[in-house]
Structure 1
Amino acid sequence: METPKNNLFDPNILVQLANTKMPFGKYQGWLLCNLPEPYLVWFQRKGFPPGKLGMQLATLYEIKINGLEHLLKPLIKK
């Protein structure tokens, strides 16, 4: 399977969201998918960090406010 050139359509984004750890702050070391929704709301109001992490947090914010976080749980690597 060829990897899409546009990351918006990359199915691996969800796997990365489920397995990437927060690199800084109060929740450093937590899996992004386990970050509490109020923390993501705070980022949404203050501004997400630049780059890949910001895109991941913004995507996770949308997933959580729409009640879809259950889609990430099966993707967590043990």
Structure 2
Amino acid sequence: MFDKTILLEIVRMKMPFGKYAGTLICDLPVSYLEWFQRKGFPQGRLGVLLETTYEIKLNGLQEIITQLKKMK
């Protein structure tokens, strides 16, 4: 079963490290998410958030993110 809180965390949580430290997970560029996809997403909750964001963007579902950002 899908954890709905993941979507909320994507629009609230900031990237904790790296080139895009401080950037909201939902605002990370696809190229950065693709790099993680090739190298491996981090373990734990952060990895789940990054991988979910990648899948949303990859499948053209960014409207989900746009709507959630309006609600937060």
Q: Normalization by structure 2: what TM-score?
A: 0.89
5+ unaligned residues in a row in structure 2: which ranges? none
Structure holding more helix per residue? 2
Q: Paired residues, what number?
A: 70
Per-residue CA deviations over 1:14-71 (Å, capped at 9, x if unaligned) read 1111111000000000000000000000000011111100111111111110011121
2:20 aligns with one of 27, 37, 55: 27
Q: Residue 75 in 1 paired to residue 36 in 2?
A: no
Alpha-carbon distance, 1:13 to partner: 1.3
The unaligned stretches of length 5 or more in structure 1 are 1-7
**Structure 2 SS opposite 1:72:** helix
Question: Is 1:49 the counterpart of 2:42 in the alignment?
Answer: yes
Structure with greater Cα Rg: 1
Q: CA RMSD in A?
A: 1.1
| TM, length-normalised to structure 1 | 0.83
Identity of aligned residues (%): 57
